[in-house]
Amino acid sequence: MRIVLIIIFAAVVVLPIYLIANLTNNPYPADEKGRNIFYSNFTGEPKHLDPARAYSNDEYEFLNQICEPIVQYHYLKRKPSYQLVPLTCEQVPEAKMYDKDGKELGSDAPVEAVVKSVYEIKLKPGIRYQDHPCFAKDAGGKYRWHLAMGESFPKIQHPKNLADVATRTLRAEDYVYQIKRLANPTLECPIAETLVSHLEGFGDLQKKLDEEIGKIRGERRKNGGMFFNQEADEKRNPIYLDMRQPQFDLPGAQVIDELTFRITLTNKYPQMRFWLAMPFFTPVPWEADRFYSQSAAIEQNITLDRFPVGTGAYTLDENNPNYRMVLKRNPNYHPETYPSEGDPEDAGNGLLADAGKTLPFIEEAVYVAEKLPVPKWNKVLQGYYDTSGIESDMYDQAIKISGAGELGLSEEMQAKHLTLATAVETSTWYYAFNMNDPIVGGLDEKKCKLRQALAIAINTEEEIQIFDNGRGIPAQSPMPPGIFGHEDGKEGIDPYVYDWDDKRGAPRRKSLDEAKKLMADAGYPNGRDESGKVLVVNYDCAEQMSEKANLDWMRKQFRQLGVELNLRTTDYNRFQEKVNNGDIQFFKWGWIADYPDPENFLFLLYGPKSASKTPEGPNSANYDNPAFNDRFLKMVNMSDTPERMKIIREMLAIANKDAPWSWGFHPVAFGLAHEWLKNSKPMLLGGNSLKYKRIDAQLREQRRAEWNQPVRYPIWIALTLLVLTAIPAAFIVYRRERSAPAA
């Protein structure tokens, strides 16, 4: 009895006290203390880590650390525009171009003359993959984990749990294998369409694979009986297409020797070099494809889409996108050193201190799933995340604007020794008019003036200040800084919306009076047409993209010219549908670049790509000016020459006058880093930045201890109070039971 009492006492009194006495706000296990681990977080779930499928930053944040394309963007040197440097190849490949007679042409060859461009890529020798069970062989030389149908694995959570792992060197055939995979329709590769029009034989391979899969599925359906379910069937018996088979030959991607392969395009397409820096063009060893295409793996959710295999500086050690993702240093990583040159300001910012040292620095990287901004921000301040973006809600706490208009960190941030870095994103938000619309559309003089007037009225500077805390720069063209074709200074402004202010050396928005004059010229003096009716413009937007205050602000801008704005908000599905069907007058939309080339922005205004002409066409404004289109076609496949700049200037001059868009703004990313994180420079393209970063774990431990001393006494006080309040109650009970029975 006494023992039972002791146990109860322990459970009710001692255990809670013990637990409370040991509580801390440190969200990480105690054994991670002082270790060389990078801590970060993510909001969007990485859905696909198969390099043939991944296409969003949520995914690239991880995949780019694991799989290596042949080239990468220079980590530090980004001025005047982003630069490619070799990663697994010996040198950045240059395209050799040929005309229809097979004669080699120079790099300035006109687009129409080129019928073939060839990239010959030579890989560095001795690069090895991460250790992985797909490479493991038994004593007899048979692949240990390539099982026959029906055989199964032990129960595992991660491929690394399998007992035998091995590695092998990177070969040219691995790149070719992956390029062929891009044609596999079941993988739904998002850039397959683009490759069809450039890569030799890609469309044919796509068709062949489609037929092959159709045939297999058709047969299985026939034999499957009444309750055949394709999904269930393919889980049990996956379709594995070995891309090395001769029937799946792809003329556009050919192995030359063990370390050399050749990519052949059917035209001149200099943008190809940027694609080559993306995960679509990373190696996939056939062993991995075979390993992941067996039911033993698929049944346990072990897929290439979750556990990529690569040669990169890191391996994926844990994939649990609802909880956390963990990367670990790849011990087989090939020798690579920290860059020794950078942009002019980099040396001053201490970014060259580690020049020449072997990469990577960090042992392990933990990314925690964080859905909401407030808890995330608090953990940054407590020192539990090494870097952070700044969201609108936290802006006032983090940033102060000095009297001179300079952005700086608030005292609170400075006291914590945080550093601030900003970078203009390679994206743009724009306001577009539907050029097919009878009221706001059309290319005649009057309509152009109407749109120019409205573009002046939409005061982007104010919008950025009010709704984005100044985290943006007003756009003068679709191209943000860092992209060829963007021009700073007087030459770069849109002269229909801005004047150049010589004194400030900055553009100045034209006055509303000028806009009003344009309105009158356009046939809408004071916003009214001939019959005196007020001009009403329908503004369509998706609910998720604009909040109420922003819509009201927009309405106010138009009212300045006497124009009434009719708001039509819908969900994003309907919004897209309206854009596609042309049931739209005026709307806001955005674009994030795939690669740093003007083509990737200007194609949004290319006539034949109008939504009204090409189904789901990206030119949602339906802008179609032949003079612009012709120059676009000329500019598309040119190299970055002064010639190209000239054509872009001409294109912008046309588009500025026609004003199919109000150019809107380019968002600026704000990043905070703690003092113990070294070599941090915001990287908006490529994103394989983890290997460059370094952590001073000692300093971090010290700061965390300073900032996070638990305060326990209020709990003890509260518990004591609770016990004390029970005393009068106990007294009442005692009295009642002693006194006469209740009435």
Partner 1 sequence: MIAYIIRRILYGIPILLGVNVIVFVLFFLVNTPDDMARVHVGKQPTPDKIEKWKREHSLDLPKFYNDGWRRVASFAPVKSEDPQKPGDKTQFELQSAGEYRLSLESPASSREWQPRTLQVKANPKERVKLPAEFNADGVLELPADGMRREFLFEVPPFEQGAEPPALDVTFSMKEPTPLQRIVLEYHGSISFAARFTDTIFFQRSLKSLFFDYGKSDDGKEIAGEISKRIAPSLSIAIPAFIFGILFDIFFAMMAAFFRGTYIDYWGVTLCVLMMSISSMFYILGGQVIFGKILKLVPISGYGYGVDSYKFVALPVVVLVIAGMGSGIRFYRTIFLEEINKDYVRTARSKGMPERRVLFIHVLKNAMLPILTGAVVSIPFLFTGNLVEEAFFAIPGMGSFTIDAIHSQDFAIVQAMVSLGSFLYIIALIMTDISYTIFDPRVRLG
Q: Are 126 and 93 in contact (CB under 8 A)?
A: no
Among 91, 152, 337, 614, binds partner 1 (CB under 8 A): 614
Verify binding: residue 125, partner 1, rule CB under 8 A: no
Q: Is 470 helix (H, G, I), strand (E, B) or coil?
A: coil
List the alpha helices (DSSP H) in 390-443.
Answer: 392-398, 411-415
Closer by beta carbon to partner 1, 224 or else 470: 224
Site for partner 1 in 711-730 (CB under 8 A): 711-712, 714-715, 729
Token match 């001179």: residue? 404
Site for partner 1 in 323-342 (CB under 8 A): 323
Verify binding: residue 47, partner 1, rule CB under 8 A: yes
Closer by beta carbon to partner 1, 373 or else 671: 373
Token match 């300035």: residue? 108
Verify binding: residue 526, partner 1, rule CB under 8 A: no
* Token pair in block for residue 493: 């402004």
Among 348, 403, 642, 741, binds partner 1 (CB under 8 A): 741
Least distance CB 359 / partner 1 (angstroms): 30
Among 401, 710, 716, 721, binds partner 1 (CB under 8 A): 710
Binding span for partner 1 by CB under 8 A among 18-26, 65-73, 266-274, 464-472: 18-26
Verify binding: residue 27, partner 1, rule CB under 8 A: yes
Least distance CB 742 / partner 1 (angstroms): 7
x/- letters, 626..665, toward partner 1 (CB under 8 A): ---x------------------------------------
Verify binding: residue 150, partner 1, rule CB under 8 A: no
Least distance CB 664 / partner 1 (angstroms): 18
* Token pair in block for residue 640: 């970055």
Verify binding: residue 232, partner 1, rule CB under 8 A: yes
Verify binding: residue 425, partner 1, rule CB under 8 A: no
Count of chain residues binding partner 1 (CB under 8 A): 82
The β-bridge partners of 121 are 261
Binding span for partner 1 by CB under 8 A among 102-110, 308-316, 440-448, 732-740: 732-740
Binding span for partner 1 by CB under 8 A among 103-111, 281-289, 609-617, 694-702: 609-617
Strands (E), 351-455: 364-369, 387-389, 399-401, 407-409, 419-424, 427-433
How far, in Å, CA of 416 to CA of 47, rounded? 35
Question: CA 172, 173, 178 angle in degrees (round to 5)?
Answer: 110
Q: What are phi and psi of 431, to 5 degrees?
A: -105, 125
* Token pair in block for residue 647: 């054509």
Site for partner 1 in 569-608 (CB under 8 A): 573, 576-577, 580-583, 592, 594, 607-608
How far, in Å, CA of 666 to CA of 523, rounded? 32
Verify binding: residue 236, partner 1, rule CB under 8 A: no
How far, in Å, CA of 611 to CA of 623, rounded? 9
The β-bridge partners of 670 are 422
Read off the DSSP letter of residue 660: S
Q: What are phi and psi of 476, to 5 degrees?
A: -110, -5
Binding span for partner 1 by CB under 8 A among 43-51, 408-416, 643-651, 672-680: 43-51
Binding span for partner 1 by CB under 8 A among 128-136, 272-280, 296-304, 482-490: 296-304
Among 207, 236, 371, 559, binds partner 1 (CB under 8 A): 371
Strands (E), 445-522: 472-474, 498-501, 506-509
Among 268, 624, 628, 648, binds partner 1 (CB under 8 A): 624
Who contacts 375 (Cβ-Cβ below 8 Å, separation ≥6)? none
| Nearest in space to 628 (alpha carbons), one of 613, 610, 615, 642 | 610
Among 57, 382, 550, 702, binds partner 1 (CB under 8 A): 382
Verify binding: residue 379, partner 1, rule CB under 8 A: yes
Strands (E), 610-721: 661-673, 677-678, 694-695
Verify binding: residue 91, partner 1, rule CB under 8 A: no
Closer by beta carbon to partner 1, 5 or else 226: 226
How far, in Å, CA of 261 to CA of 179, rounded? 11
Verify binding: residue 616, partner 1, rule CB under 8 A: yes
Verify binding: residue 306, partner 1, rule CB under 8 A: yes
Least distance CB 61 / partner 1 (angstroms): 17
Residue 382, CA atoms < 13 Å, CB-side half-sphere: 17
Q: What is the 3-state secondary structure (H, E, C) of 90-143?
A: CCCCCCEEECCCCCEECCCCCHHHCCEEEEEEEECCCCECCCEHHHCECCCCCE
Verify binding: residue 441, partner 1, rule CB under 8 A: no
